[in-house]
Every structure is written in structure tokens, then in C-alpha cells.
Amino acid sequence: MYRFTRYLHGLIEVCDIRYISLVLLSQRKRKIVVYTDSDERNRVNGAYILASYLIIYHGMTADAAYLRLEAAQPPKFIGFRDAALGEPTYLLHLHDVLRAVEKGLYHKWFDINTFDAEEYELYERVENGDMNWIIPGKILSFCGPHNESRIEDGYPYHSPETYFDYFRNSKITTIVRLNMRMYDAKKFTDAGFQHVDLFFIDGSTPSEDIVEKFIRVVDNAKGGVAVHCKAGLGRTGTLIACWMMKEFGLNAAECMAWLRICRPGSVIGPQQEFLVSMQKFCWSMSQNSVVQKARRSNGQEAGSEKKSVGKLVSKVDEIRLSQAIQNGLDG
């Protein structure tokens, strides 16, 4: 998304300069055409990055940007699925993803002018730590460390010491482990970090007690919080989404969309439906009046069909799961 929007904006800036001359000479406008082939996965991905450009550079709302793309249907845009094997049980609609982009800008989680793409791509690589900021300065998701650094079958495993310098420089103070113990937590605590264990089974969903404890840990942390499970995707993304719903009033779909924009593969299988079921619980934990307002607004949509937004007629519940499976969904 970042590279496309920057590239397209650069083209338009050049075209704006040329357009002045064109107006003087021929009164003709230059247009930029963005296209994909007919593959339904490419179509929805193309719509996502183009609409994101409209939101980021032209200040459009997610609703308005989505409406601009309605002309590209039919066929309807397919939904985005999780990274689990087998048939998907839940799909994110394009509109959910665009709302996540809009709210990411609103909450200043992303700034096109200051975002460091090279740093993002450096640290997301497995050999460099496999970590991504979800909420910059507050919550980072990363792959679970092992007691000693090693390379096994070509795959690098990192010890806690690997992360010390980056975490300190990033003002991370707290580490949350969600998986079984693969390293001695004392390595982190001896280095001055707080370390918290909130174990639950891989691929499963947390209890309300774990959700509440996690939210308290994040809220009470003196600095940033680095969260991991085994891969830093499913369990990690699920609990981070719970905190996001509580803290910012986002709904489950928006949280999942933002997590996957930042760290592809986050939230897997039944964790998706779990987050939907936890919306009201997480919203109820917030004392923020803005979140309470969002809670009332989102609560009207939870468990029922979403109402139309202006001319918006393509809703999340209109995506036919059977059609997505038949078409080999892989968004």
C-alpha cells in the first residue's frame, strides 16, 4: 500500500506540472489509469491500494473511497481470508479494510510522510527479528524467542538478547508471552524488562480473564509492549485486537484488518469469530467517552445487517462464503 500510494502521488504531482502546460496549449487533461487483470484476488487488492490512496492523499472517508470503486462491480469484490489452511470461516470485506486505513490515519498510527518503509521491511524479516509495530510506540508484535540463537534447517531462531537493543531504543518496557516457555523469562527481567506470561493454547481463543489481564498489562505499562506467541500472529493478534477495541472503539473487523495490514497473517481461524463476539465486552471496559460513543454506534451493527451508508449497497454480510470458496479465495 505504502509504495503504491507514494508512487501514484508522485505521478500525479508530475502530471500536475505538465497539466499547466497542457491547459495552456490544448485544454486537455491527463489521466492515470490503474488496472489489474480479471483475477478476483488481484481486483480486490487493486481496489484496496487505490482506495487507500484516495483516503491518504485526498482525505476521502472510507465510505466515499469505496463508493468511487463501485463501478468496478460486478462481479462483486471477494473478501479477504485468514492465513489458516482449509476453507475460510470468516471474510473481511474491502470496506472493513478501508475503514481500518481511515482510522489508522485518524489515530496517527500511520503517516505517509514519516513512515519508514525500509525499516519496516528490515525488521519484518525473520533473520532480523520478525517484528512489526501495530500501534507505533505502544504495541509491537513479534515472533517468539528461543533460549539460544541458532539456525535450524535454514531457519533462524533468536534468543531474547537479540531484541534487547531494539526494544530499549524503542522504549519498550514490557514483554508478554502467550505460548509455552521456549526461553527463560529471567533473561528479559535481568535486562530490566517486565515479563508477563498469559498462556493459552495455540490456535485457540483466550478466556475473559486473560483478556482482562492483558488489557491491564498494556494500560499499566510504562512504555511500549512487545507481545509474542509462537509465530506472533494468531494469539498475539487476537489479544492486541481486544485491547484496540477497548482503547479506540474499533469493531472486530477493523481491528483484524489493521493487524493484517501491519503484520500479514494475524488472527487465525476461530479467533476471528471470537473477536466479533468480544466486541461489547471490550468496549464495556473503556472509560473513554469517545469509545462509548463508538460503542453505541457499532453496537447497532453487531449481530445484524449493516445499514447502508449513502449509496453503499455492498455490505459485509452480502459476501457469499460459498462463492468465495468456490472461486478459490486467497485475498
pLDDT tens-digit map of 171-214: 999 999 999 999 999 999 999 999 999 999 999 999 999 999 99
- What CA–CA distance (Å, rounded) separates 198 from 178? 5
| Nearest of 316, 326, 320, 330 to residue 97 by alpha carbon | 316
- Let me know: does 55 contact 105? Beta carbons within 8 Å: yes
Higher pLDDT, 329 or 37: 37
Percent of the chain with pLDDT over 90: 67
Q: What is the mean pLDDT of residues 236-265?
A: 97
pLDDT tens-digit map of 192-201: 999 999 999 9
| Nearest of 228, 220, 88, 111 to residue 167 by alpha carbon | 228
| Nearest of 218, 215, 278 to residue 250 by alpha carbon | 278
The residue annotated as part of the active site, out of 229, 242, 255, 282, is: 229
pLDDT above 80 (res 244): yes
In order of their start, the domains of the chain are 2-105 (3.90.190.10), 129-299 (3.90.190.10)
pLDDT above 70 (res 297): no
Cell of 214: 492483558
Q: How confident is the model at residue 310 (pLDDT cuts 50, 70, 90)?
A: very low
- Let me know: does 161 contact 134? Beta carbons within 8 Å: no
pLDDT above 90 (res 322): no
pLDDT of residue 264: 94
Higher pLDDT, 73 or 239: 239
- What CA–CA distance (Å, rounded) separates 184 from 118? 32
- What CA–CA distance (Å, rounded) separates 165 from 185? 17
Q: How confident is the model at residue 280 (pLDDT cuts 50, 70, 90)?
A: very high
Q: Put residue 129 in one of left, alpha, beta given phi > 0 → left and psi -120 to 50 → alpha.
A: left
pLDDT of residue 31: 73
Q: Put residue 206 in one of left, alpha, beta given phi > 0 → left and psi -120 to 50 → alpha.
A: beta
Exposure string for 184-211, b = 16+ CB within 10 A, e = fewer: eeebbeeeebbbbebebeeeebbeeebb
Q: How many CA atoms lie within 13 A of 60 on its CB side?
A: 17
Q: How confident is the model at residue 70 (pLDDT cuts 50, 70, 90)?
A: confident
pLDDT of residue 24: 41
pLDDT above 80 (res 306): no
Assess whether 229 carries a catalytic annotation: yes
Residue type, 121: E
Cell of 293: 460513543
pLDDT above 90 (res 124): yes
- Let me know: does 266 contact 179? Beta carbons within 8 Å: no
Higher pLDDT, 122 or 288: 122
User: For residue 40, with 0-12 CB atoms within 10 Å meaning exposed, 13-18 middle and 19 or more buried, which class applies?
Assistant: buried
β-pair partners for 172:
224
pLDDT of residue 139: 99
- What CA–CA distance (Å, rounded) separates 99 from 55? 10
Strand ranges, E, within the chain: 131-135, 139-142, 150-152, 155-157, 172-177, 194-197, 224-228
Q: How confident is the model at residue 75 (pLDDT cuts 50, 70, 90)?
A: confident
- Min mean pLDDT across 43-52, 97-106, 130-139 is at 43-52
Q: What is the mean pLDDT of residues 14-28?
A: 41
pTM: 0.83
Q: Within 10 Å of residue 175's Cβ, how many Cβ atoms?
A: 25
